[in-house]
Amino acid sequence: MKKGLLNITGDQVRKVLREALTPTFLIILAGSALMWYASRLSIEYTTEMPLSIRIDGEKYRLTAMVTGRGSVILAQRLSLKRKLNFVLDELSSRPSRETPGSLTITGTSLQRAINGKISDLTVVEVIEAPEFVPPAAEETADEDPAIETPKEKRQRERAERREARQAEKEAARSAESEVESEQ
């Protein structure tokens, strides 16, 4: 029986691969890949990185521009559960422009505080600083329904966006039904 051209080529390729992929070659290939990866992680990088912080027991997520060795950045990203704890007295804040009764933590004070807690990385800039609602403001917000907390504001904005999308869908459906009825 004759073998087709593709079968002969496939057999030859398998034979070459079997001879080339010896255990010694694979070990050397894996070792060189690890050495290359380690050398790439020893370079200084600047990148955006999400950080988890706690201010007076409240959890916040922020984005910061950090500089450090690649291995340190990778280790910090893999340990996202590690939270940095701060007290509001350690940080500078100003009244929020968006939410009455809440405070916006200044980026420079967060930058200094984070640099003091993480020694291997340098925070170059805090891109997104969190809003903080002091306990006294939360009590005032409970008493005065006109003042909403940042969480309530986010929930309200999500509900408004959801309602707007729903209204757009209804308008599109009614436009489709009008076109169908005209035909």
Query: Confidence band (pLDDT; 50, 70, 90) for 140?
Result: very low
pLDDT of residue 148: 65
The distance from CA 179 to its chain's CA centroid, rounded to whole angstroms, is 44
For residue 44, what pLDDT band results from cuts at 50, 70 and 90?
very high
* Average pLDDT, integer, range 39-56: 86
Tell me: pLDDT of 107 over 50: yes
Q: In what order do the strands lie in the sheet with 93-95?
A: 93-95, 103-105, 131-132
Q: Tokens 């050398």 label which residue?
A: 39
What's residue 145's pLDDT? 52
Q: What is the pTM of this model?
A: 0.53
Residue 126 banded pLDDT, cuts 50, 70, 90: confident
Cβ atoms 53, 60 nearer than 8 A: yes
